[in-house]
Amino acid sequence: MIPKKRPLPPRGTREQALAMMRERGLRLTAQRLAVLEYLLSTDEHPSARRIFEKVRKSLPGIALSTVYGILAELTRNGIIKALEFEEKDNRYEANLSEHINLVCLRCGKISDYLTPYTIDLERIRETVGFRAFQSRFELYGICESCGGKG
């Protein structure tokens, strides 16, 4: 069964994420908290390896496999989102609000673009009988730093 997901505002608060973890019966371990807090603190969409490198500074004994497990668990429970790409590592974010991911084809940077539009998943189910659980939108191009302006 897919858990009900309550959207967080962009870079949701620690308290909201902790409440979601408690609702889903997840223990608040030091490792889970460190991974979650890093994701809540950054505008980046880091890979598991990048998260591991950052978290390892405060928790030197944490293993990369532990970080992968935590990310999978937080994603499965709707607390974070995994951005899966065919040709590169997954990236992760704590922004569960409706937004478009802007992906630079040169440097790989991913930025969020908040959109006033929302997708009514319930209406889609009623109209065409498709039961969607989440949506993800990406635009691919060149970021301003790589010469995309103008």
pTM over 0.85: no
Asked if residue 33 and residue 55 are part of one domain, the reply reads yes
Write the CATH number for 116.
3.30.1490.190
pLDDT computed for residue 87 by the predictor: 66
In a domain, 140, yes or no: yes
Q: Assess if residue 3 is contained within a domain.
A: no
25 with 63, same domain: the answer is yes
Give yes or no: residues 87 and 31 share one domain.
yes
Question: Hey, what are 57's tokens?
Answer: 């500074």
60-71 pLDDT, tens digit per residue, is 999 999 999 999
- Residue 90's SS3 state is coil
Residues 89 and 22 in one domain: yes
107 lies in which domain range? 99-146
Burial class (CB in 10 A: 0-12, 13-18, 19+), 95: buried
Backbone angles phi, psi at 88, to 5 degrees: -145, 170
Q: Which residue has better confidence, 58 or 119?
A: 58
Structural domain tally of the chain? Answer: 2
If asked whether residues 86 and 125 sit together in one domain, one would say no
* Residue 70, φ and ψ in degrees, nearest 5: -65, -45
Q: pLDDT band for position 88 (50/70/90)?
A: confident
Region of poorest pLDDT, from 15-29, 34-48, 85-99: 85-99
Q: Which of 48, 72, 93 is the last residue of a domain?
A: 93
